[in-house]
């Protein structure tokens, strides 16, 4: 039983939250695939951290959390967590979500000062009756749960922001530095699928802007009977097409992960202005098959199994333009 839905005057609401309405239904088991991890961009270190969990018999959920915490904690990664590029006011604001094999989901958006938003998202999933906590509320919850308040703006990101302020031109760049949001999908030894997605969002975005990454069905979706999908790139385009959910539903209809990613990208291409934006999807199905597709050449993704970790170039809709001298 979860939230009661009414309050007796004087009752402390939080007491209603003590039993969380998480789904506990048994997870359907098919023949377990070999454990596998797939992530957006060149996130080999994140995949290795996730594989460590899986090799020890850990769950896909633990694996994806451990995996995406790597770029979240890396000050050299300027689009995720600590060291992420700030909004136009100079504040680093983070979006993240996580989804497990039972269909439980948790998310935080517009969260400041917490290095590992994915772990806060997991606490939202496991210890509240809600799916999304935003802004001040998410920060309050994180601090209550023992997360440390930190300054996430590194000197390097601060310097870049100060340079940006000289023109204040808001123009997201396709494939900027070849990395963006990390979305990660994993299948564990039991054949169960989970996913996580985390980002500092678009550099120099408006204060309060939230992208696709913390929105279940947009930046990430898992259906343990079918597979999972996650997105990177221009969140506004993904949000308007509910991309990750679309990819999973297309796989449900029988498409391969690669074809489903392509069709979801082409939905954006057909319905939205797309010349100057990147969107990339990666997906995995219950059999452990995977694929990717993006609008513009240049998106890559990394796949890890027991045997190897491989960086693969995504198929694309539009070739990269030749650099003009
Ligand atoms: N895909 C990340 C964002 O748009 O914030």
Q: Which residue has the higher pLDDT, 175 or 222?
A: 222
Radius of gyration for the alpha carbons in the chain, expressed in angstroms and rounded: 19
pLDDT band at 180 (very low <50, low <70, confident <90, very high): confident
Q: List the strands of the sheet with 309-313, edge to edge.
A: 132-134, 105-111, 94-99, 193-199, 182-187, 36-40, 300-304, 309-313
Structure confidence at residue 235 (pLDDT): 96
CA–CA separation, 207 vs 201, rounded Å? 11
Domains observed in the chain: 30-315 (3.60.20.30)
For all residues of the chain together, what is the average pLDDT? 89
Alpha helix stretches (DSSP H) within the chain: 44-55, 60-72, 117-127, 135-144, 155-165, 235-241, 243-252, 257-271
Average pLDDT over residues 199-208: 95
165: pLDDT strictly greater than 80: yes
Three-state secondary-structure class, residue 236: helix
pLDDT tens digits along 87-99: 999 999 999 999 9
Nearest CA residue ID for atom 5, ligand 1: 201
Q: What is each CA distance from 249 to 66, 67, 102, 246, 283, in whole angstroms? A: 27, 26, 17, 5, 11
213 lines ligand 1 (CB under 6 A): yes
Tokens, residue 317? 């809709």
Does 243 sit in the ligand 1 pocket, CB within 6 Å? no
| pLDDT tens digit sequence for 279-292 | 999 999 999 999 99
- In which element (H, E) is residue 195 found? strand 193-199
pLDDT in tens, 24-72: 544 444 454 589 999 999 999 999 999 999 999 999 999 999 999 999 9
Using DSSP, state whether 178 is helix, strand or coil. Answer: helix
Contact between 43 and 302 (Cβ < 8 Å)? yes
* Atom 4 of ligand 1: nearest residue by CA position: 235
Say if residues 315 and 258 touch (Cβ distance below 8 Å).
Answer: yes
CA 24–ligand 1 middle distance (angstroms): 31
Measured in Å, residue 197 CA sits from the centre of ligand 1 at 10
pTM of the shown model:
0.89
DSSP 8-state symbol, 76: T
Q: Is the pLDDT of residue 139 over 50?
A: yes
Residue partners of 193: CB distance under 8 A and separation at least 6: 60, 101, 185, 186, 187, 222, 224, 227, 228, 284, 286
| Residue 24 · residue 177 · CB < 8 Å | no
- Strand duo 300-304 + 309-313: pairing: antiparallel
Measured in Å, residue 138 CA sits from the centre of ligand 1 at 19
Q: What pLDDT, on a 0 to 100 scale, did the predictor assign at position 173?
A: 72
Ligand 1 centroid to residue 174 C-alpha, Å: 12
CB 47 less than 6 A from any atom of ligand 1: no
- Is pLDDT at 23 greater than 80 in this prediction? no
| From 128, 154, 181, 199, the catalytic residue | 181
Can you tell me whether residue 318 is helix, strand or coil? strand
Q: Is 211 in the pocket of ligand 1 (CB under 6 A)?
A: yes
Q: What is the mean pLDDT of residues 165-174?
A: 82
Is 181 part of the annotated catalytic residue set? yes
Q: In terms of pLDDT, which residue wins out, 169 or 256?
A: 256
* Rounded distance between C-alpha atoms, residue 121 and residue 106, angstroms: 5
């Amino acid at each position: 039983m979860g939230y009661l839905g009414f309050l007796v005057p004087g009752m402390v609401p939080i007491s209603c939250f003590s039993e969380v309405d998480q789904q506990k239904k048994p997870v359907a088991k098919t023949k377990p695939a070999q454990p596998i991890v797939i992530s957006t961009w060149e996130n080999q270190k994140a995949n290795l951290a996730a594989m460590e969990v899986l090799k020890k018999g850990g769950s896909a959920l633990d694996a994806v959390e451990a995996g995406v915490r790597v770029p979240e904690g890396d000050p050299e990664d300027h689009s995720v967590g600590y060291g992420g590029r700030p909004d136009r006011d100079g504040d680093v604001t983070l979006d993240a979500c996580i989804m497990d094999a039972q269909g439980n989901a948790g998310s935080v958006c517009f969260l400041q000062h917490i290095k590992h938003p994915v772990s806060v998202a997991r606490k939202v999933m496991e210890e509240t009756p809600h799916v999304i906590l935003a802004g001040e509320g998410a920060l309050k919850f994180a601090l209550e749960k023992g997360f440390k308040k930190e300054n996430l703006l590194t000197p390097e990101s601060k310097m870049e922001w100060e340079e940006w302020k000289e023109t204040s031109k808001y123009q997201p760049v396709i494939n900027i530095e070849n990395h963006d949001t990390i979305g990660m999908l994993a299948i564990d030894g039991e054949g169960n699928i989970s996913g996580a997605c985390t980002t500092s969002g678009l550099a120099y975005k408006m204060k309060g802007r939230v992208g696709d990454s913390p929105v279940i069905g947009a930046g990430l979706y898992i259906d343990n009977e079918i597979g999972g999908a996650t997105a990177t790139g221009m969140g506004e385009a993904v949000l308007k097409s509910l991309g990750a959910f679309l990819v999973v539903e297309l796989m449900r209809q029988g498409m391969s992960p690669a074809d489903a990613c392509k069709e979801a990208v082409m939905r954006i291409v057909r319905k939205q202005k797309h010349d100057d934006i990147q969107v990339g999807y990666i997906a995995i199905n219950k059999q452990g098959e995977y694929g990717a597709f993006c609008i513009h050449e240049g998106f890559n993704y990394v796949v890890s199994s027991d045997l190897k970790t491989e960086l693969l170039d995504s198929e694309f809709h539009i070739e990269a333009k030749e650099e003009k001298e």
